[in-house]
Chains A and B, each alone.
Chain A
Amino acid sequence: MKRNSLKLMLLASTIMGAATATHAADVTLTIESWRNDDLAIWQEKIIPAFEADNPGIKIKFTPSAPAEYNAVLNSKLEAGSAGDLITCRPFDTSLALYNNGHLASLADLEGMSNFSAVAKSAWITDDGSHPFCVPMASVIHGFIYNAEALEDAGVKVPTTEAEFFAALDAIKAKGNYIPMSMGTADQWEAATMGYNNIGPNYWKGEEGRNALIAGTQKLTDEGWVAPYRALAKWKDYLGDGFEAQSYPDSQNLFTLGRAAIYPAGSWEISGFNANASFKMGAFIPPVQNAGDECHISDHTDIAIGMNAKTENAAAAKTFLNWVASSEFAKIYANALPGFFPLSSAPVALEDPLAQEFISWRSKCKSTIRSTYQILSRGTPNLETETWNASAQVIKGAETPEAAGKRLQDGLASWYKPQQ
C-alpha cells in the first residue's frame, strides 16, 4: 500500500510538473515602481491593453512606497531578485544603476526614436550614446486653487507676485479659508512645491540652471535668493501648526475645502479630482512684474528601463516599445491626468485641470528642477540641503541670504565649476 501511494504521488507530481510546463510559454514580466498610487490604473487599464495586443506576455506591477523605493530597489538588484522592468527615477539615481550594470542599454530600441533629446536627457549617459530608460512622463508645477474660496474672498486669479500676496491677504482677512495649504514636516514639500515651483521665474528657467551648472552663477546670486525671500513670506498664510503638517495633511486640508490655494505638482490632479467636491482651477507660478516672461518647472520625472539581468529580455523589449508608442501615451496621460507624456506625438487630454497645466507649455518656457542634473552628485547633497533650507526659511529659522550662502558653500565644497 505504502509503495503504491508513493508511486501515485510521484505520478501526480510529474503530471503537475507537465501542466506547469505548458503554462511556462506565458512570460511574466514584473515591474518595479514607486507609484503605488497608480496600482489600480495599471491593473485595470494599462496592463489589460498591453496583454490584449500581446498574448503570451503577462505583466505584474509591484510598487513599493515612494520614500523607500530607491533603497528597496538597490537591495533587490544587488541580491538579484529585482523585477524585469524597472521604473526609473530621473538623472543620477538611474545613471548609477546603468553604470553598475543593473540597467540595460536601450540604444537599439526602435521606440526611442519617438522622443526628443530633452525628453531623453534625464536617462542617458553623459556622452549621450546610451539611453537606458524609456521616458514616460513629466510633471508640471503650479498652484491649484479652490474656485469657491477665491470667489468668497472676492479675488481673481493672480498673475504677478504682488497680486498673489494681495489675494492671500484678502483670503486671510475674510477668514473662511486657510490661505495656503502646505506644511514643513516632510521638508520636500517646501523645496519641491515651494522653491522649485516659484523659482524658475526668478532664475529665468534653463538660463539660470545651466549657468549654475557651468559655474557662472552662484546660489548666493539674486536670482537664487529671491525665491527664498518670497518663500519666507508664506509663513503667515499657512495653517496653524504647519511645522508638524505632513504632505498627506496638506492634501486633505485642501480637498476637504478648508484651504484656498495649494502649491502643487500636476501629479495631484487625479487624487484631487477624486476627493474634492468643489470647482478647482490652476494658475502659473506668479511672475515678478506684469508682462514678464514666465518659466515653469516641467520636470522629467518617470521612465521605465530593463533589468540587465532579466531572463525575458525579448518580452521586456516588446513591452518597452509599446511604452514608447502613442497608444501607451494616450492611455497613460488620460488615466493619470497630471503625468504628461514626453513623446513627440501630441496627445489630447480630457481632464480640464490637466489640460490647463499642459497648456502652459505653449505660454511659458519649460525647465526642470534646478538641483536634479549633475548638481546633486556630491556630498553634501544639494537636493537634500535644498529641502532643509526651504523648510528652515519658511519657518523663519534661517534668513534667505544665510540659506543661499549655506547651499553655495556646500556646493562649492565638491563641485569644481563653482570653486
Chain B
Amino acid sequence: MEEKSHKPPFRSHILVFLAPAFLIYTSFMVIPLFGTLQMSLYSQIDGVQKFVGLANFATLFGDERWAQSFWNALVNNTWFFVIHMLVQNPIGILLAALLSSNKLRMRAFYRTSIFIPTILSFVIVGFAWKLILSPLWGVAPSMLDAIGLKSLFAPWLGKEEYALTTLALISVWQFVGIPMMLIYAAMLSIPDEVLEAAECDGLSGNAQFWKIKLPLILPSIGIISILTFVGNFNAFDLIYSAQGALAGPNYSTDVLGTFMFRTFFGFQLQLGDPNMGSAIASAMFFIILCGVSIYLFGIQTRLRRYQF
C-alpha cells in the first residue's frame, strides 16, 4: 500500500552517464553553432564588432555579386547531391543486393574492397584522381587510347561543363561503400522465413527484390538519403583538395563550403570577413535544417515499418 504513493527515486547515475556526451557535444557542436549564428549578426565597423541585425544576410541575398556567387554555389551543391542520389545510392543498393545473394563467392573480398575507399583521406583521393585524369601524365588518356577511344578523353577537371560532375563521380566512387554497407545490413536482417514464404507463393528473383526486400529496406534508404543530403551540402574537402579554394574553372565547382571558406578566411589578396563567412555558414545550416525537417516530419513519419 505504501509503495503506491512512493515516487521512483531520482536516479542520479543517469546524469553521470549522460554528462560526457552532453559536455563534449555542447562544447564542440552547440556552442560553436550558436557562436556562428551570433557572429553572422555582427559586422566589423571601424575595427569594432557592431550588431547589425540581418544586414549581412541582406547583402548576401540582395547584393548582385554576393547573391550570384551564393546561388551558383547552391545550384552546384544541389547538382552534387542529385548525382549522389541518382548514382551512388542506386549502385549501393545494387551492390548490397548482389552481396546478399547466396550464390556469390568471395563476398568478404568484394565487400572490403568496395568499402576501402571510404576510409581514405580526401586529400589522397583528390590527388590520386587528379593524377589519373591528368592529360599529361594520367593513366586515363592512355587507357582510353589502348581501346581506341582516345577521342573521348577531355581534360575533365579543367572544363567548366564537366568539372563538377567529374568531382561528384569521384566522390561517388569513394563513398559508394556506405550505402552498400547500410543496405547490406538491412537485407541481412530480413528473416529467411519471410523470403521462404515468398518463394512458396511463387515470388523469386527480381520480383522478390521489388516486392519483399525493397519495402523492408525503405527505412534504411531513407536514412541514407538524409545522410547523403547532409554530407553533400557540407561538401568541401574533395573540391578544396582537387580544385583549390577558388573552385575553378570559373567557379563551376564552387559549393557553399568553398564559398564560405574563401569568404571567412580570405583568399590571396582578399582579406577574410568572418562575419559574412558566418552568414554563409548560417545559410548553409538553415538549408540543411530545412532538408532534414522535411525528411523527419514529411517522410519518415509515413514510412511503414515491419516487425518480425
Q: Confirm or deny: A201 has a beta carbon within 8 angstroms of a beta carbon on chain B.
A: no
Q: Select B135's contact among A187, A241, A413, beta carbons within 8 Å.
A: A241
Which residue of A is nearest B264, CB measured?
A71
Q: Which of A244, A376, A382, A392 has the most CB of B within 10 A?
A: A244
**CA of A413 to CA of B130 in the docked complex: distance in angstroms?**
37
**Interface segment, one of B100-108, B201-209, B243-251, B289-297:** B243-251
Q: Is the CB of B266 within 8 A of A71?
A: yes
**CA of A382 to CA of B154 in the docked complex: distance in angstroms?**
31
Contact with B along A312-329 (1 / 0, CB 8 A): 000000000000000000
Q: Is the CB of A245 within 8 A of B158?
A: yes
Q: Confirm or deny: B298 has a beta carbon within 8 angstroms of a beta carbon on chain A.
A: no
Q: Is the CB of A245 within 8 A of B155?
A: yes
Known: A74-B265, A74-B266, A388-B251. A243 touches B159 (CB 8 A): yes
Q: 7 A-B pairs, CB-CB below 8 angstroms?
A: A71-B261, A71-B266, A241-B135, A245-B135, A380-B65, A391-B249, A391-B250
Q: Say how far B128's CB is from chain A's closest CB, in angstroms.
A: 14
**CA of A392 to CA of B154 in the docked complex: distance in angstroms?**
17
**Interface segment, one of A89-97, A160-168, A225-233, A267-275:** A89-97
Q: Say how far B55's CB is from chain A's closest CB, in angstroms.
A: 15
Q: Confirm or deny: B134 has a beta carbon within 8 angstroms of a beta carbon on chain A.
A: yes
Q: Is the CB of A388 within 8 A of B244?
A: no
A237 contact set on B, CB distance < 8 A: none
Q: Say how far A334's CB is from chain B's closest CB, in angstroms.
A: 29
Q: Confirm or deny: B269 has a beta carbon within 8 angstroms of a beta carbon on chain A.
A: yes
**CA of A116 to CA of B128 in the docked complex: distance in angstroms?**
47
Q: Confirm or deny: B133 has a beta carbon within 8 angstroms of a beta carbon on chain A.
A: yes
Q: Confirm or deny: A360 has a beta carbon within 8 angstroms of a beta carbon on chain B.
A: no
Contact with A along B44-62 (1 / 0, CB 8 A): 0001000000000000000
Which residue of A is nearest B141, CB measured?
A241
Q: Select A379's contact among B65, B154, B245, B250, beta carbons within 8 Å.
A: B65
Question: Chain B interface residue count: which class?
Answer: 20 to 34
Which residue of A is nearest B66, CB measured?
A379
Q: Is the CB of A184 within 8 A of B158?
A: yes
Q: Select A244's contact among B65, B157, B244, beta carbons within 8 Å.
A: B157
A70 contact set on B, CB distance < 8 A: 265-268, 272
Q: Is the CB of B269 within 8 A of A384?
A: yes
Q: Which of A99, A188, A241 has the most CB of B within 10 A?
A: A241
Q: Confirm or deny: B271 has a beta carbon within 8 angstroms of a beta carbon on chain A.
A: yes
Q: Is the CB of B246 within 8 A of A384?
A: yes
Q: Say how far A203's CB is from chain B's closest CB, in angstroms.
A: 19
Q: Is the CB of B250 within 8 A of A392?
A: yes
**CA of A120 to CA of B58 in the docked complex: distance in angstroms?**
40
Known: A70-B265, A99-B47, A185-B157. A244 touches B134 (CB 8 A): yes
Q: Confirm or deny: A283 has a beta carbon within 8 angstroms of a beta carbon on chain B.
A: no
Q: Confirm or deny: A242 has a beta carbon within 8 angstroms of a beta carbon on chain B.
A: yes
Q: Confirm or deny: A371 has a beta carbon within 8 angstroms of a beta carbon on chain B.
A: yes
Q: Confirm or deny: B299 has a beta carbon within 8 angstroms of a beta carbon on chain A.
A: no
Please give the number of chain A residues whose Cβ is less than 8 angstroms from any Cβ of chain B in the complex.
Answer: 45
B:156-171 near A, CB below 8 Å: 156-160
Contact with B along A379-395 (1 / 0, CB 8 A): 11111100110011001
B250 contact set on A, CB distance < 8 A: 388, 391-392, 397
Q: Confirm or deny: A186 has a beta carbon within 8 angstroms of a beta carbon on chain B.
A: yes
Q: Is the CB of B155 within 8 A of A241?
A: yes
**CA of A48 to CA of B133 in the docked complex: distance in angstroms?**
44
Which residue of A is nearest B157, CB measured?
A244
Q: Say how far B65's CB is from chain A's closest CB, in angstroms.
A: 6
**CA of A25 to CA of B181 in the docked complex: distance in angstroms?**
59
Q: Select A91's contact among B135, B137, B245, B269, beta carbons within 8 Å.
A: B269
Q: Confirm or deny: B270 has a beta carbon within 8 angstroms of a beta carbon on chain A.
A: yes
Which residue of B is nearest A239, CB measured?
B136
A:232-284 near B, CB below 8 Å: 239-246, 249, 252-253
**CA of A146 to CA of B78 in the docked complex: distance in angstroms?**
47
Known: A93-B271, A239-B136, A384-B269. A244 touches B246 (CB 8 A): no
Closest 8 CB pairs of A and B: A241-B135, A243-B158, A244-B158, A244-B155, A241-B155, A71-B265, A381-B270, A376-B269
**CA of A70 to CA of B265 in the docked complex: distance in angstroms?**
8
A379 contact set on B, CB distance < 8 A: 65-66, 270
Q: Is the CB of A92 within 8 A of B269?
A: yes
Q: Is the CB of A244 within 8 A of B133?
A: yes
Q: Confirm or deny: A67 has a beta carbon within 8 angstroms of a beta carbon on chain B.
A: yes
**CA of A415 to CA of B209 in the docked complex: distance in angstroms?**
64
Contact with B along A192-235 (1 / 0, CB 8 A): 00000000000000000000000000000000000000000000
Q: Is the CB of A381 within 8 A of B155?
A: no
Q: Which of A96, A372, A379 has the most CB of B within 10 A?
A: A379
Contact with B along A359-380 (1 / 0, CB 8 A): 0000000000001100010011
A413 contact set on B, CB distance < 8 A: 65
A384 contact set on B, CB distance < 8 A: 246, 267-270
**CA of A249 to CA of B157 in the docked complex: distance in angstroms?**
14
B:251-276 near A, CB below 8 Å: 251, 261, 265-272
B268 contact set on A, CB distance < 8 A: 70, 188, 381, 383-384, 387
A184 contact set on B, CB distance < 8 A: 158, 248-249
B134 contact set on A, CB distance < 8 A: 241, 244-245, 249
B248 contact set on A, CB distance < 8 A: 184-187, 388, 391
**CA of A100 to CA of B243 in the docked complex: distance in angstroms?**
31
A67 contact set on B, CB distance < 8 A: 244-245
Q: Which of B134, B155, B243 has the most CB of A within 10 A?
A: B155
Q: Say how far B63's CB is from chain A's closest CB, in angstroms.
A: 9
**CA of A100 to CA of B272 in the docked complex: distance in angstroms?**
13
**CA of A383 to CA of B160 in the docked complex: distance in angstroms?**
21
**CA of A245 to CA of B137 in the docked complex: distance in angstroms?**
10
Q: Say how far A376's CB is from chain B's closest CB, in angstroms.
A: 4
**CA of A223 to CA of B155 in the docked complex: distance in angstroms?**
33
**Knowing that A240-B155, A244-B155, A383-B269 are A-B contacts, what are 10 other residue pairs whose CB atoms are under 8 Å apart, sorted by A's residue number?**
A74-B266, A185-B243, A187-B249, A241-B135, A241-B141, A241-B155, A243-B159, A243-B249, A245-B134, A384-B268
Q: Is the CB of A96 within 8 A of B271?
A: yes
Contact with A along B233-248 (1 / 0, CB 8 A): 0000000000111101
Q: Is the CB of A187 within 8 A of B246?
A: yes
Q: Say how far A385's CB is from chain B's closest CB, in angstroms.
A: 10
Q: Say how far B270's CB is from chain A's closest CB, in angstroms.
A: 4
